[in-house]
Chain A
Amino acid sequence: MIGMARERRLAEIFVEVADSLVDDFDVIDLLQRLSTRCVELLDVAAAGILLADANGELQIIAASDEHTRLLELFALQHDQGPCVECYRTGNARTNIDLTRPETTVAWPRFAARARTTGYVATHAIPLRLRSRVVGALNLFQTRAHRLGDDDIALARALADVATIAILQQRTLEQSHVENSQLETALSSRILIEQVKGVLAERWDSSVDDAFAAFRAYARARHLRLSEFAAQIISGGFDTADIPPPAPDRSADRPG
């Protein structure tokens, strides 16, 4: 049974998501919040949501934190890793021990990178729409503690919420098929990576810090991350108005 505190927290999350779905919402921001909640509720180190693109390759759409090392780990799974398996078979792959070579023989590059980043276990939960799999929720742990059936059930519930969020999003003139929602989300993601680079260069900061400042500004003003990013890139917004991240010369590495 799920503990009371966690049950209450879960109820709050569902309310939070339901609230967000009412209006024209920012899908990337919502998915990012959901990823953060996964980390909290499941007591894991990191969570990310991956979606399949037009070529059936998985792309990262949101993560509990945006550290480049973590993003690169998700990016590796465009062709190999537990999420690819989960996406292709439609089955969850849970409690994968990254330290056992025999369990990771199918995706050596992914496993090696995950271990270098400090992770010892991972889980992949499918994002399902009826009989169709559209992506995967990926969880990472830095210390080995087995996720039980309740935890996995909870992760599935969060994955379902993510799927609903992605496919509920309606852009103004377009009520057609769910596929375009996926594409919109994927395209927004690339836009956000591009703007991270633009801001990091202008501010002479790391891309991670640039993103944090960008997101804080957007959230405080209820701007959609992708639209705000597009505005900055097109020169339609003076980035001098955004408080830059505090200079941190000591930290060359992310984390």
Chain B
Amino acid sequence: MAESGTVISDGMAEVLRRLHLDGPGDPTPAWARALGAEGVALTLLVGAERTPEPLWCHPDLSARFEELQFTLGEGPGPEVIHNGLPVLEPDLDRVRLERWPALLPAAANMGVHGVCCFPLGLGAIRVGVLTVLCDGERRMGAQQYADAGALAAALTSAFLGGDLRRDGDGSALDIPEPPSGLHRPAVHQATGMISVQLGVSMQEALLRLRAHAYGSERPLGEVAQDVVARRLRFRDEPTGDCTGDSTGDFTDDFTDDFDDDGSGPHSPDGGKG
């Protein structure tokens, strides 16, 4: 008998289905329920400095833990942001103290039993981190792992570069549709090429590629192949300062949609302010 990996749970399937349907509001209580977790937090990297900014946390314990690890600059979250790989420590008592000397005692005081962090990113691109606080059982089961991984993957796609549609309803917490075609090697190759052509980050390069595909109403993979085959080049205006707000030859119509990309894909103001 064979099973294809571990299938996500019905609860998580519902969460993922609602990801693009739900209006403004903090979705983390539903995530925590679906994951059977003590807490869940989503932290995004925002601005040119890529500062970790907690967007959604549930419950308060999660918010305090996020603040703790990013203030200290140590812990599973900062490690995930640095390495781009998941860090799974469902039982913090089993972590060597030297690894996170300041965090571990503070986390124990807060009553955090264990933490599993999943990167939101794509190769060299880092979008953020999904942090799951484990309950008193101090373990992460295969089902939880599959669910959390699927959620992180869905959020990665959604937050990769903001919504390219102009006709959104303006809601700050509207999670955009994920771009399709990210499974194609040519998309990542083209992203690398564009990052050199424009002198921008990988994330910005992917955004420019997506903007061009969107603007020309062509599939992402097809445009990427044009870039790889050198039928299409991205150039900044001579006056461009290459920081991401200059106008690309092929993206003129859309630049105003992500001029302020430097302030992060989504401002949390709409939900918290």
Residues in A lying within 8 Å of B, measured CB to CB: 52-57, 59-60, 68, 71-72, 75, 78, 87-91, 126, 128, 131-134, 171, 173-174, 176-177, 179-180, 183-184, 187, 190-202, 207, 229-230, 233-234, 252
Contact = CB atoms under 8 A, between A and B. Distances in A.
21 contacts: A53-B153, A54-B146, A55-B154, A71-B186, A72-B186, A75-B186, A78-B183, A128-B2, A179-B146, A180-B86, A183-B85, A187-B84, A193-B192, A194-B189, A194-B202, A195-B192, A197-B195, A198-B195, A199-B192, A200-B189, A230-B84
A126 B1 CA distance: 13
A56 B184 contact: no
Contact of B192 (A57, A183, A201, A234): A201
A60 B197 CA distance: 27
B149 interface: yes
Interface string B1-13: 1111111000000
A201 B153 contact: no
Contact of B85 (A88, A133, A180, A201): A180
Contacts of A89: 2
A176 B5 CA distance: 17
Given A179-B146, A187-B85, A201-B197, A132 B185 contact: no
Interface centre among B122, B189, B197 (most CB of A within 10 A): B189
B183 A132 contact: no
A196 B190 CA distance: 9
Interface in B181-201: 183-186, 188-197
B183 A126 contact: no
A29 B201 CA distance: 26
B228 interface: yes
A101 B72 CA distance: 61
Nearest to B152: A54
Contacts of B185: 60, 68, 71-72, 75, 193
B150 interface: yes
Contacts of A171: 85
B145 interface: yes
B140 interface: yes
B211 to A, nearest CB: 17
CB-CB nearest 10 A-B residue pairs: A197-B192, A90-B2, A190-B123, A193-B188, A54-B149, A201-B196, A176-B88, A191-B123, A197-B189, A197-B193
A47 B228 CA distance: 23
Contact of A132 (B3, B99, B140, B145): B3
Given A176-B140, A177-B142, A183-B85, A75 B184 contact: yes
B103 to A, nearest CB: 14
